[in-house]
C-alpha cells in the first residue's frame, strides 16, 4: 500500500489490504448474484400475489441493518478521523432515513394513501432518491480515500474541524428529509412515474439514470487503488445494488411482480454485506484484544529476560500461600538469593555477559523447583527469590545449600569476586507459619535480613531464621 494516512491505522477496517481469499469470496458472491439476476430478468414482469407483510418486514430489516452499519462506521470514523469513512457512514445514514420515509409513505401500510401526505408517486420517487443517493456517497468515499492516501499531511486526522463533524449528521438527515419532502409535499413538481401500481414510460428514464449512478460509482471505486477490504465488499454491494435497481425498476413492470420482490431481496442482501464485514472485524478485534490481554498477563507474570516468574508474581503467590498456611497451620519458607559482587561482574564483563549470567543462574534455580506451589522468581537486579510451601527451616536450608552448590558448579568466571574466581551466591532463608493479622512481607523482610547476614559473612553462604509468632497488645506481629 502507498504510504499515507490509511497506512497508520493498523487493525482497522480502512487499513486492511484484501488477500486472495477476500477477492475469491467477493468474486464468488458477485458471480452468483449476477447469475441469479440474469435468470430472473426474463420473468421480471410476471405478476405475483400482493403480500401485505412483505414491505414492512423488508423495510424494517433494511432500516435496522443500515442504522447499525452507519453507527459502526461512525465508530470507525471516531477512531480513524477519516473523511472517507465519514462519507460512507453518512451514506448508510442517508439510506436508512430515506427508507423510513419510504416505509411511512407506502400506500396501504399505515394509511390507504400512505402517511406524510404521500401521493401515488411518492414511494416510487423516494425509492429513486434513495437508490441514487447512496452511490453518490460511495463516490465521495472513493475520492476522499485516494486523497487521504496521497496527501496525508493535508488530510491528517487532526485537520478535520470538530464543528464540521458535528454538522455532518444533521446535514445528512436534512438531505434525506428534503428528498422525502420533495416526493410527498412536492410531488406535483415531479413527473408521474407510476399509474395504478404500474410504471410509466418516464420511469424507465428515471430508473436508468439511477442505474447509471450505481455503475459510475462502481467504476470510481474500482479506480481508487490501492483497494482495501472495505473497497472490495463495497464493489460487491454496488453490483448487487445494480441488480436491485434493474429488477425492481428497469426490467419489471410495477409493484408486486417478480422483479419488485426479487429486487428488494437483492437490496437487503447487498445492504447486509458491510454490516457482516464490520461484525466479523469486531469479533476479530475482540479476539486480538483477548490475546493481547493474555500476553500482557504472561509478560507481567514472567521476567522478560530470564523467563522465570516476576517479582509481582512472587509476592502475589506468597500472599496466597501465607493465607493457606494460616488456615492449615503448615510452614512456609522464603529464600532470597543474591549473586555475590554482581555490580563488579557487570562492570567487568558488560551488560550482555551479565544477562547471560542471570539467565544461566535462573535456569539452574528453576531446575530445583519440582513441587507444585513452589516458585522461583527474579526479585532484583542480581537477586532471585524462591517460595517453598510446606517446608520448615531445616529443609529450606538444605535446599538453599544445594542451590548454592549448583550455582558454583556452573563455573561462570568472575575475576573481580572477593569470594572465588567464579560466580557464587549468598542465600538468606526465612521460615514461618501463616498468621492471621500478619502481612506476608515479614517473611521477605526476614529473608532479606538473613541475606544481609550471609553477605556480611563473606558471601557464598546460607543463613536461616525463623519468623516466630508473638502478640503485642493484642495484635499478632512477627
Asked if 30 and 114 sit in the same domain, the reply is yes
The pLDDT assigned to 160 comes to: 64
Asked if 110 and 204 sit in the same domain, the reply is yes
* Cα four-point dihedral sign 59, 61, 66, 71: positive
Identify the helix (H) or strand (E) that includes residue 377. strand 375-378
For residue 304, is it within any domain?
A: no
Domain that holds residue 210: 5-296
The pLDDT assigned to 6 comes to: 37
Name the residue among 206, 202, 41, 69 with its Cα closest to residue 137: 69
β-pair partners for 428: 336, 463
Asked if 424 and 385 sit in the same domain, the reply is yes
Q: What SS3 state is found at 453? A: helix
For residue 208, is it within any domain?
A: yes
Asked if 243 and 337 sit in the same domain, the reply is no
**What are 467-476's pLDDT values in tens digits?**
875 433 333 3
> Over 90: is that where the pLDDT of 77 sits?
no
Asked if 337 and 290 sit in the same domain, the reply is no
Asked if 249 and 376 sit in the same domain, the reply is no
Q: Which residue has the higher pLDDT, 428 or 83?
A: 428
The pLDDT assigned to 477 comes to: 40
Return d(Cα 216, Cα 223) in angstroms, integer.
Answer: 11
For residue 279, is it within any domain?
A: yes
The pLDDT assigned to 436 comes to: 65
Last residue in a domain, options 296, 322, 346:
296
Asked if 336 and 273 sit in the same domain, the reply is no
For residue 324, is it within any domain?
A: yes
List the Cα angle 80/86/88 in 5-degree steps: 120
For residue 397, how many C-alpha atoms fall within 13 Å in the half-sphere facing its CB? 12
Asked if 262 and 362 sit in the same domain, the reply is no
**What are 219-237's pLDDT values in tens digits?**
999 998 888 888 888 898 8
**What are 352-411's pLDDT values in tens digits?**
999 999 999 999 999 988 888 899 999 989 999 999 999 999 999 999 999 999 999 999
Asked if 165 and 264 sit in the same domain, the reply is yes
Return d(Cα 372, Cα 394) in angstroms, integer.
Answer: 20
Q: Are 237 and 271 in contact (CB under 8 A)?
A: yes
Return d(Cα 56, Cα 67) in angstroms, integer.
Answer: 16
Last residue in a domain, options 296, 321, 354:
296
- The C-alpha cell 557464598 sits at 460
For residue 306, is it within any domain?
A: no
**What are 145-177's pLDDT values in tens digits?**
888 877 765 655 555 666 777 788 999 999 999
Asked if 285 and 424 sit in the same domain, the reply is no
We report the CATH number of the domain holding residue 455 as 3.30.70.270
List of residues 6+ apart from 256 with CB closer than 8 A = 47, 48, 49, 50, 51, 197
**What are 242-276's pLDDT values in tens digits?**
888 888 877 887 788 888 888 888 888 888 878 88
For residue 301, is it within any domain?
A: no
We report the CATH number of the domain holding residue 133 as 1.20.1070
Asked if 203 and 318 sit in the same domain, the reply is no
Q: How many domains does the chain contain in total?
A: 2
Asked if 130 and 261 sit in the same domain, the reply is yes
Return d(Cα 377, Cα 362) in angstroms, integer.
Answer: 8
Last residue in a domain, options 269, 296, 323:
296
Number of neighbours of residue 411 by Cβ within 10 angstroms: 11
User: Is the pTM above the cut of 0.75?
Assistant: no
For residue 302, is it within any domain?
A: no
By CB atoms closer than 10 A (0-12, 13-18, 19+), residue 202 is middle
Return d(Cα 100, Cα 96) in angstroms, integer.
Answer: 6
For residue 196, is it within any domain?
A: yes
Return d(Cα 354, Cα 305) in angstroms, integer.
Answer: 11
Return d(Cα 324, Cα 320) in angstroms, integer.
Answer: 6
Amino acid at each position: 500500500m502507498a504510504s499515507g494516512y490509511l497506512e497508520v491505522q493498523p487493525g482497522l477496517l480502512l487499513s486492511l489490504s484484501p488477500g486472495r481469499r477476500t477477492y475469491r469470496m467477493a468474486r464468488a458472491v458477485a458471480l452468483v448474484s449476477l447469475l441469479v439476476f440474469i435468470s430472473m430478468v426474463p420473468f421480471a414482469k410476471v405478476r405475483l400475489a400482493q403480500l401485505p407483510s412483505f414491505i414492512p418486514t423488508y423495510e424494517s430489516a433494511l432500516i435496522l441493518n443500515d442504522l447499525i452499519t452507519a453507527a459502526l462506521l461512525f465508530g470507525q470514523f471516531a477512531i480513524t478521523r477519516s473523511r472517507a469513512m465519514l462519507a460512507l457512514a453518512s451514506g448508510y445514514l442517508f439510506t436508512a432515513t430515506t427508507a423510513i420515509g419510504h416505509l411511512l409513505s407506502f400506500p396501504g401500510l399505515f394509511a390507504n394513501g400512505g402517511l406524510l401526505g404521500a401521493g401515488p408517486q411518492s414511494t416510487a420517487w423516494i425509492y429513486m432518491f434513495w437508490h441514487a443517493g447512496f452511490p453518490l456517497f460511495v463516490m465521495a468515499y472513493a475520492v476522499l480515500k485516494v486523497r487521504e492516501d496521497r496527501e496525508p499531511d493535508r488530510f491528517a486526522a487532526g485537520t478535520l474541524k470538530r464543528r464540521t463533524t458535528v454538522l455532518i449528521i444533521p446535514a445528512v438527515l436534512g438531505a434525506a428529509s428534503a428528498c422525502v419532502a420533495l416526493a410527498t409535499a412536492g410531488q406535483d413538481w415531479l413527473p408521474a412515474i407510476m399509474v395504478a401500481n404500474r410504471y410509466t414510460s418516464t420511469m424507465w428514464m428515471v430508473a436508468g439514470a439511477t442505474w447509471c449512478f450505481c455503475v459510475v460509482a462502481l467504476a470510481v471505486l474500482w479506480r481508487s487503488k490501492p483497494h482495501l477490504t472495505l473497497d472490495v465488499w463495497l464493489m460487491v454491494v454496488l453490483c448487487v445494488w445494480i441488480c436491485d435497481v434493474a429488477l425492481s425498476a428497469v426490467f419489471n413492470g410495477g409493484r408486486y411482480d417478480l422483479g419488485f420482490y426479487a429486487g428488494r431481496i437483492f437490496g437487503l442482501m447487498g445492504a447486509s454485506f458491510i454490516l457482516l464485514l464490520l461484525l466479523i472485524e469486531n469479533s476479530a478485534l475482540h479476539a486480538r484484544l483477548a490475546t493481547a490481554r493474555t500476553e500482557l498477563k504472561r509478560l507481567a507474570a514472567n521476567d522478560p529476560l530470564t523467563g522465570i516468574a516476576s517479582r509481582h508474581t512472587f509476592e502475589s503467590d506468597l500472599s496466597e500461600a501465607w493465607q493457606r498456611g494460616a488456615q492449615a497451620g503448615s510452614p512456609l519458607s522464603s529464600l532470597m538469593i543474591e549473586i555475590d559482587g554482581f555490580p563488579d561482574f557487570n562492570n567487568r564483563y558488560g551488560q550482555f555477559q551479565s544477562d547471560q549470567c542471570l539467565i544461566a543462574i535462573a535456569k539452574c534455580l528453576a531446575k530445583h523447583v519440582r513441587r507444585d506451589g513452589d516458585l522461583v522468581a527474579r526479585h532484583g537486579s542480581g537477586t532471585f527469590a524462591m517460595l517453598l510451601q510446606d517446608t520448615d527451616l531445616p529443609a529450606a536450608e538444605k535446599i538453599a545449600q544445594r542451590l548454592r552448590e549448583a550455582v558454583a558448579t556452573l563455573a561462570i568466571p568472575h575475576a573481580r569476586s572477593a569470594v572465588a574466581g567464579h560466580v557464587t551466591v549468598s542465600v538468606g532463608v526465612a521460615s514461618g507459619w501463616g498468621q492471621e493479622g500478619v502481612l506476608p512481607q515479614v517473611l521477605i523482610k526476614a529473608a532479606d535480613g538473613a541475606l544481609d547476614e550471609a553477605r556480611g559473612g563473606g558471601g557464598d553462604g546460607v543463613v536461616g531464621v525463623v519468623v516466630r509468632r508473638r502478640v503485642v497488645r493484642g495484635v499478632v506481629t512477627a
